[in-house]
Every structure is written in C-alpha cells, then in structure tokens.
Amino acid sequence: MFKKSTLIIKKPLVVLIAILLLASVLRVYKVSSLPLGLNIDEVSQGYNAYSLLLTGRDRYGKLFPILFKSYESFQPPLYTYLTVFPMFLFGKTNFSVRFVSITSQLVVVCLTFLIMEKVFSKRKMLSLLSAFVVSISPWSIFFSRYATEASLGLVLILGSIYFLITTERKKLRIITAFLLLGLSTHAYYTEKVVSFLLLFGYTVIDWKLIRDNKKTFIVGFFLFAVLLSPHLYMINKGAFFRRFDQVTYLDSSSFDKFGGKYQGDMFGRFVYIAREFASQYVAYYSPKNLFFIPDSQQGRSVPNLSVFYSWMFVPFLAGIAFLIKEKISKNQKLLLWTMFVSVIPAALSRDAFYTIRTLLFLWFVSLLIGIGIGYFYEKFNRKRTGCLILLIITMLSLFDLHRKYFVMFGYERASAFGGFDKVIADYIKNDEKEVLVDLSERDLATGLRMVYYLDFEPKKFQDEIGYKYLDNYYTGYDVETQYNLGNVQVRPIIWEEDVYKRQLIVGDSISISDSQVLEHKLQLLYEFNFFDGGRSIRVFTTNPLSKCEAGPEMNKDDDKCFHYLE
Amino acid sequence: MKNYAKVSSHIFLVIIVLTSSWTYRLFANASILTTAAILSLAYLIFSLLSKEKKHLSYLAILVNISLLLLTLSGNVDLNIFTTSRVEQDVLIRRFDNYAKDYGKLYMNRYGILYHYKLEPIIYKLEANLFENMDINGYFFASHPRERGTNNEFEKFSAFFLPFFVIGFFATLIYQRKAFIFFVVNLLLSTLYYSNYVLGSVLLYAYFVVFITYGFKICLRKARLLSKNH
C-alpha cells in the first residue's frame, strides 16, 4: 500500500531530535506550577521519596516497603524509589516529584521511533510520524506533567517490547526484555496483568525462536520469576488485591448493587459480568471517548480536551484500514496482540474510560494515527503542500492545547490538584500564629500536602503520626485524618473549643458557613479563589473576646471565656 | 453456492431488523412513511454492496434525501445556534481567564467572535458528531458513560458488534461509494438533537447494512476455511 520511496527520509535522526525537543518543551514548560499543587498520589509519592532520602524509611517508618501504604490503598513501589534521585539532585520540588514521569514519557517518544523503525523497517517516515504523534498527543503530555506510575509502567513495557522484537540477532536481549517486563509489574497495577498476557502472546507468536534458544529463554523466565517473587510474598496480605477489590465489578456486592435487570436470573451474574466487560472494553475504542469527551475524573483530564485531538479520528481510521490491508508480519502480530490485551485490566474495573489505566493502549492508538497520517501523506501528490497542511494542523492543535491545558486547566482544575493547599501553605508558612486547617473532609490529602509544603521533618512525622500504622502496614486500610504539625493543625473544627482560642482558621464554605462566621465572630483575613466558578478558601482569625462578650449562649463563668473577660 | 450466501445474508438482514429494538421504536414513534423510507434505504444500500448499479445508487440517494426531509423538521438541534444562561456564564468566565493570559491576542474583534459565536457552535456540532459515532450508544445503551436521560436504549444486540466492526471496515476499504453515503449521513446527523427519541435515524440503514455485510464476510471466510480443510 505504501510506496517505500515516498516514505524514506534522508536525515531521520535530525528530525527525531527536533521531535524530542518539541516533546521536551511541551512536557517541561511550567511543570512546577502547572498543575499548581500535587494530587493525592503525587504528594504521597513525593513525601515518601523525601522520607526515604532523609531516613531510609517511608513516612510511616517502614524499611524498604514492597508496596507503599497510601491512604486507603497501596502504591506500586518503583516510582517512589526512583524519585529519591531527583529529590537528591533538585530538592523537594514539584519538578522532582514529576521528574520520573517526564523522563519516562520522553523515553516513550524515542522507543516509539525505535519500535516502529523495526516493525516497518525502511519506512522511517512512519516511525517519525508515530513519534511525532506521541510527542504532541494530549494524553502523553498530560500524563508526563504529573507524577504517575502509569508512565513508568508504560516505558518499561515498551522497552520490553523493543527488546523482544529485536532478539533475532542478539539473543541476550531477551534477558533484558524479561527483566524490564518483571520490573514493570512493580511500576503499575495494569502491568501485572499485561506483562503476563504479553509474555503469553510472545510465546505463541515466536515459539520457533524460543524453541531454538531454550537456554537463554529459561534464564529469562527465571529472572522474570525472581522479579515476581515480592508479589508472591504479598499475595496473602490484603495489600496485594486491595486496589483490585476497590475498583472491580467481579465481586457479588457489585452485582447486588448494579446488577439491575439481571438480578434473579439463573445466569444473571454471568451475563452482568460479560456485558459489563464488553461495554467497558468497547468504550476504550469509542471515537467519542478517544477524540472528544475527556476522562470524567477532574484530576485526570483537561477541560474540553480528550486524550487525542478530534481531527486525529480521520488518520486513526486510515491507520486501521492500512493494517487490515497489509500483510501482517510477526512483529506486527505481537504489537496487535498487545494492543488488544492492553485494555483488559481497565475493562475489568467499573470506572468508565479511566485513561490512566490504558496508557499502553493510547500509545497504540497514537501509532495508528501516525500510520494514517503516513497513508494520507503518501496519497497526496504534492509532498510539500502535505507537509505544510500537517504543520498548520499541528500549530492549531498546539494552540488549542495551550488554551485548554496551559490556561483553562490552570484555573479550572487547580483545586483537583490540591492547588489550594499549596497556596494556603505558602500563606501560613512564615506565620508563627496557631493555624487550624479544616479541609481534609473533602480532600484526604490536605494534611499530607501541609506536611510536604511546610517542610515537616519525615523523622518527626514517623515518630508522631506514622508509627501508629506500622503494625498492620500491609493489612490495615485506616487513614490518618488529623495532623498536628507544631503550630499548624489539620483536622475538623470543634466549634465549642476552637473559636475560644486565638488562631487562624482556614476552610471552605462547607467547613465554615456564613452563619458560623457571624455566630462565632470570625474575621475574614483573606480569600483564595481560582476563578473556577466553584470552591473558594477563606482564612479567618478568631476573636475570642467578642465571642465571649456577645454570644447568646455565652456563659461568663465558663473556663473558656474566663481568661478573656478577666 | 453464491445463492446460498445471498439467501443467508438476506435472512440475517431480516433477523437484525426484527431483533433490533430500534426498529420497534421507529414503528412506535415515526410515521409509516419515515419507517418505510428507512427500511427501504437499508435494503437499497445492502443491494448496492453486492451489485453496483447506477439506478440503485440514484434510488438510494433519492430515498436518503426523502428521509432527511421527513425527519429534519422538528428534530434539528436548535441548541447548536443558541447559548443558554449557564453556557454564557462559563463562556464569560473562560474569556476573562484567556484574556488574562493572552491579552490583545485574544481580546480583539476576531477573538471575541471566535470565543462567543464560532467555538460554541463547533463544539456542539462536534458533540453531536461524536455522540452519533459512539459504539456504546448503539450496542450498550451508552453504558458505561450514560447521559442520564430516558432516551438511552440498546439499539442492537451486543452479539452483532463483531459483525458490525468487520462490516464497517470492509465497507471503508472495499465499498467506497457506500461509505461516502454513510459519511454524508453522519455529517448531516450532527444537525439532529443527539438525544433524539429515535436515535440518529439517518444512520439506522447503514448500521444494519454494516452488520449484515460483516456477517456475509464471516460466512464467506468460514466456507473457505471449511473447504480448505
């Protein structure tokens, strides 16, 4: 279908460097302040990495955890361990926390080129176009710019695929591939499933190669098994299946809750699960979700922008049509197999179109778009005009991205990333007054963000708060809700006591209503607003004297007022 | 042998039509003329796939245009060209935010025209277009991303989905004319209210045809395989 001559490019390395430069700019520009704060996962990883750097233990005081306890769940460990290095190099900044994600996605751009170069051999244009699509795609940019284990999982799986498809001449590469595959299971949850399915597909597709190089493969499998052994250690503890239990619909309680019309049927549960899986699986291929409607989670999407630009739907279709017509090679078979199975972990969870769980699939979609663009380029008689059209579309797309991510997202999603906590921490950081922050009811991570931004020492945290959770580290799901950080406390307000002390009180309109402001004689000091049309955070100072003098329920003999009225 | 494939795909076409809840919705809510136009369009497009004849194409275009005229009145999405009070508030807030960052680059006559007039229209047309392309909307009543209205219904059984996918791509690759017909209807459907009680009626015929065509291809492949064995 493609004429090889038209897709040969003279200096692919120069073009690749240009693509990498563009990718770097899009991923690093303003990354410390956009997203403004750190979301719940980022702050947990960031503070754990900081704690590891200073004390060798996580924030609870656990030595080398296999999974990091984080609120009601557990985080795969690799990202946090790797973040210790940027923490050491650049200090405790948002950039350090996001460094591994940024680097991973930049390596993904390189690997895209290398994998496609191998799969489509001499048609370097397709490799470059695919790398280019990955570099400008909203999903890749978005997930580079915040700390997520999914980016690390993606790069390790892609590294493994690259080594798997280049083993023909260098057999030892298979060992590297298996090592990366084993490591990927410690990077992100979906990779625990995908790595096995990839291995199964590879064994079936490349059976002849495996048969001819038994020894190398046995060593590879052995190393893979060794890397999986920590999972075996964890399998009987609650932590291993905790995340799966939180998100799956396979359990009976999910059927009881959402089974609807299938409840009462003999095979009702089976039909419910089959329908749920099929609909979830198909939803990841739906053009509506891929090219128009963003992920419904505020903290995991850009307003009005999905994971791809809407125009990319056309080359996406062309890319699929091309692959259907093409005689599929062995490597292409492996890629297609991986694409089909990459959605399975996400389809087993009840969250609709949960993009972070399907980064590998989104990468494959990017390849199809790249192939589709190559197809149109080849069909177009005037090559220079074709390049110009692509350039104009790219410029318009990047302008759209700038508007929606660098401007609109900055305002509208700041609170989803704990931006309020960051500005509050900056506001109270150098103040020696007593401060009470009541926001943790709405956002569990507020307390830890205060810990992080107010530079609370990890050793102190371990001794004063963390030690309580150490005994049932892998089996308990209890969450720290109250933080006493010297002069700053993070907890719900106790109105009967807190308004009788001189202190600053920080809260939103739910924690401190207007009537409570009047009733308790609070004085407004400052109001933070991100112009997102929603939440605003107010800082008040208490006024115990006025409260004691004027309150209708005031009891002048009360201990709380005695001190002020004397 | 040829007749066998022809007869079985015709039977399959009838099965799809009869098992689709979309068909019964048409009978219940649309006029007889509209229903007849939709069903005959399905048959015409299907015939066009097996035998390319000029008069069939012209007839299909004629029926398609009649269907458009029959269904367009009263079903056009008027929201496309108007903005509600809530939308206005969002537009104003966003414009203020953009203006802070872009300054005069955005705060000029063209910027204002684009932001308040053009972009909302493009967005709504795109929304209708992608809503009509949502596979889950046809096979799973929009599950898992339901729109929370009463008009969600499973138009075809999910068992037909693999045939649809095969038929869709086979049409895209081998039956360009029929695919262009589909694209034109898809674009015209953007003018309809996307949560229209009958669904995107202009596409009914094409969905039925894609499923049948996919079945026909599978049948052909299965016979070839059994022959080789």
Each residue of A200-250: pLDDT tens digit?
A: 999 999 898 888 888 999 999 999 999 999 999 998 888 888 888 889 999
Alpha carbon distance A102, A302 (integer Å): 18
Closest CA to A317 of A357, A360, A275, A365: A365
Q: Is A564 helix (H, G, I), strand (E, B) or coil?
A: helix
Residue A81 contacts B where some CB pair is shorter than 8 Å: no
Residues of A in contact with B169 (CB under 8 A): 320-321, 324
Give the lowest-confidence range in A168-177, A545-554, B132-141.
A545-554
User: Helix, strand, or coil here: A549?
Assistant: helix
How many CB pairs below 8 Å do chains A and B form together? 80
Inter-chain touch A288–B130, beta carbons under 8 Å: yes
Residue B2 pLDDT level (bands cut at 50, 70, 90): low
Are A19 and A128 in contact by the 8 Å Cβ rule? The answer is yes
Share of chain B above pLDDT 70, in %: 97
Does the structure show a pLDDT above 70 at A531? no
Q: Mind listing the pLDDT tens digit for each residue in A258-277?
A: 888 888 888 999 999 999 99
Task: Identify from B118, B143, B164 which residue to disrupt to test chain A contact, counting A C-beta atoms within 10 A and taking the largest count.
Answer: B143
Nearest CA in chain B to A411: B97
Largest CA distance in chain B: 72
Backbone angles phi and psi of A63, in degrees to 5:
-85, 125
CB A70 within 8 A of CB A442: no
What is the mean pLDDT of the segment spanning B178-206? 89
Average pLDDT over chain B, rounded to an integer: 90
Give whole-number Cα distances, B51 to A302, B54, B57, B175, B221, in Å.
Answer: 47, 10, 10, 11, 20
Q: Over 80: is that where the pLDDT of A286 sits? A: yes
- Which residues in chain B have Cβ-Cβ distances shorter than 8 Å to A533? 89-90, 93
Closest CA to A525 of A501, A513, A541: A541
A353 interaction partners in chain B (CB closer than 8 Å)? 144-145
Q: How many CB atoms lie within 10 A of CB B96?
A: 12
Which single residue is written with the structure tokens 């419910």?
A272
- Pairing, β A504-508 against β A536-541: antiparallel
Phi, psi of A127 (to 5 degrees): -65, -45
> What residues of A are in contact with residue B144 (Cβ under 8 Å)?
276, 279-280, 283, 350, 352-353
CA–CA separation, A403 and A405 (whole Å): 6
d(CA A163, CA A181): 10
Which whole number is the average pLDDT over A118-133?
90
Tell me whether residues B94 and A310 touch, CB distance under 8 A: no
Please report the pLDDT score of residue A154 as a whole number: 98
Whether B158 sits inside 8 A of A279 (CB atoms) is: yes
Q: Which position has the token pair 């008027």? A: B78
Task: Give A351's contacts (C-beta < 8 A, 6+ positions apart).
Answer: A247, A297, A357
Judged by average pLDDT, the poorest of A364-368, A547-551, B1-5 is B1-5
Q: Select the residue of A304, A350, A353 nearest B145 (Cβ to Cβ).
A: A353
The stretch A12-28 carries a mean pLDDT of: 96
Higher pLDDT, B167 or B27: B167
Confidence bin at A565 (pLDDT 50/70/90)? low
Mean pLDDT of B101-113: 93
Residues of chain B with C-beta less than 8 angstroms from the C-beta of A276? 144
Question: What is the mean pLDDT of the segment spanning A284-310?
Answer: 94
Q: What is the residue-wise DSSP string for A272-318?
A: HHHHHHHHHHHHTT-HHHHHTSPPS-GGGSBTTB-SS-GGGHHHHHH
Nearest to B137 by CA among B148, B129, B145, B127: B145
- The predicted pLDDT at position A333 comes to 94
Average predicted confidence (pLDDT) for chain A? 91
Min Cα separation B89/chain A (Å):
9
A428 with A504: CB under 8 angstroms? Answer: yes
Angstrom distance (rounded) from CA A94 to CA A146: 9
Q: Is B96 on the interface with A (CB under 8 A)?
A: yes
CA distances to A37, A131, A493, A537 from A500, rounded to whole Å, are 32, 62, 12, 22
Higher pLDDT, B192 or A180: A180
Show residues of chain B in contact with A282, CB under 8 Å.
135-136, 139-140, 161
Token pair of B84 as six digits: 């509600």
The alpha-carbon gap from A186 to the nearest alpha carbon of chain B, in Å, equals 29
The model's pLDDT over A449-477, given as tens digits with 9 standing for 90+, comes to: 999 999 999 999 999 999 999 999 999 98
Residue of B88, B91, B97 to mutate, testing the A interface (most A Cβ within 10 Å of its Cβ) = B97
* Rounded mean pLDDT, A368-393: 89
Which residues of A are less than 8 Å from B127 in CB distance?
292
pTM across the whole model: 0.94
- Please list, in sequence order, all residues whose beta carbon lies within 8 angstroms of the beta carbon of residue A353, skipping any fewer than 6 positions away: A283, A284, A289, A293, A295, A296, B144, B145
For an interface test with A, give the residue of B89, B91, B131, B134 to mutate (most A CBs within 10 A).
Answer: B134
Q: Confidence class of residue A430 from pLDDT cuts 50, 70 and 90? A: confident
Using CA atoms, how far residue A541 sits from A293, A520, A535, in Å, is: 43, 10, 20
Query: Per-residue pLDDT averaged across A121-133, rounded?
Result: 89
Structure tokens at B17: 């039509």
| Residue A442: per-residue pLDDT | 78
Percent of chain A with pLDDT over 70: 95
Q: What is the mean pLDDT of residues B29-36?
A: 88
Distance separating alpha carbons of residues B44 and B23, to the nearest angstrom: 17
Task: Tell whether A292 lies on the interface with B, counting CB pairs under 8 A.
Answer: yes
User: Could you tell me how far CA A282 lies from the centroid of its own chain?
Assistant: 22
Give the DSSP H/E element, type plus range, for residue A506.
strand A504-508
Residue A552 confidence (pLDDT): 54
Contact: A282, B135; criterion CB under 8 Å: yes
Please enumerate, as own/partner, the contacts of B215-224 that have beta carbons within 8 Å and a separation of 24 or more: B215/B9, B215/B12, B215/B163, B215/B167, B216/B5, B216/B9, B216/B12, B216/B167, B217/B166, B217/B167, B217/B170, B218/B163, B218/B166, B219/B5, B219/B8, B219/B9, B220/B5, B223/B1, B223/B5
How many residues does the structure list for chain A?
A: 566
**Which token pair is A22?**
């563009």
User: With 80 as the cut, is the pLDDT of residue A122 above it?
Assistant: no
Asked whether the predicted pLDDT for residue A435 surpasses 70, the reply is yes
* Burial class of B191 by CB neighbour count within 10 A (0 to 12, 13 to 18, 19+): middle
Mean pLDDT, residues B81-88 taken together: 94
Tokens found for residue B65: 């245009």
Q: Which among A286, A348, A401, A529 is the top mutation candidate for probing chain B, defined by the most B β-carbons within 10 Å of its own β-carbon?
A: A286
Ramachandran bin of B177, using left for φ above 0, alpha for ψ from -120 to 50, beta for the remaining angles: alpha
Task: Give the residue with greater pLDDT, B173 vs A382.
Answer: B173
Residue pair A440/A492 in contact by the 8 Å Cβ criterion: yes
Residue A67 predicted with pLDDT over 90: yes
The arithmetic mean of pLDDT across residues B167-174, rounded, is 95
Residue A403 has pLDDT above 80, yes or no: yes
Q: What percent of chain B has pLDDT over 90?
A: 62
Å between B51 CA and nearest CA of chain A: 22
pLDDT surpassing 70 at residue A522:
yes
Measured CA angle at B194 (ends B193, B200), to 5 deg: 100
Which residues neighbour B130 within 8 Å (Cβ) at sequence distance 6 or greater?
Answer: A287, A288, A291, A292, A293, A310
Best of B93, B98, B128, B145 to substitute, by most chain A Cβ atoms within 10 angstroms, is B145
Q: In the block, which residue shows the tokens 């496609």?
A: A116
B77 touches chain A (CB under 8 A): no
CA atoms within 13 A on the CB side of A480: 26
Cβ–Cβ contact A193 with B under 8 A? no
Give the nearest partner residue to B172 out of A278, A321, A403, using CB atoms.
A321
Q: Closest-CA residue in chain A for B132?
A: A288
Q: Over 80: is that where the pLDDT of A199 sits?
A: yes
A478 in Cβ contact with A67 (< 8 Å): no
Question: How far B36 CA lies from chain A's nearest CA (Å)?
Answer: 30
- What is the model's pLDDT at position A7? 56
Residue A527 burial (CB count, 10 A)? 10
**Encoding tokens for residue B153?**
């219904």
* B184–chain A Cβ distance below 8 A for any pair: no
Interchain proximity B144–A279, CB inside 8 Å: yes
Q: Let me know if A239 is exposed, middle or buried by CB neighbors in 10 A (0-12, 13-18, 19+).
A: buried
Rounded Cα distance between B5 and B13, Å, is 12
Residue to substitute from A1, A247, A279, A396, interface B, most B β-carbons within 10 A: A279
Query: How far, in Å, CA of A69 to CA of A75, rounded?
Result: 6
- Lowest-confidence region among A289-293, A377-381, B25-29: A377-381
Band of residue B182 on the pLDDT scale cut at 50, 70, 90: very high
CB A282 to CB B98 under 8 A? no
Q: A460 is written with which tokens?
A: 């102190």
pLDDT band (50, 70, 90) for residue A547: confident
How many CB atoms within 10 Å of residue A414?
23
Burial class from Cβ neighbours inside 10 Å (0-12, 13-18, 19+) for residue A251 reads exposed
Choose among A497, A477, A555: nearest CA to A73: A477
Q: Classify residue A328 by its DSSP letter.
A: P
CA distance A166 to A242: 37
Specify the pLDDT at position A564.
65
> What's the DSSP call for residue B192?
B
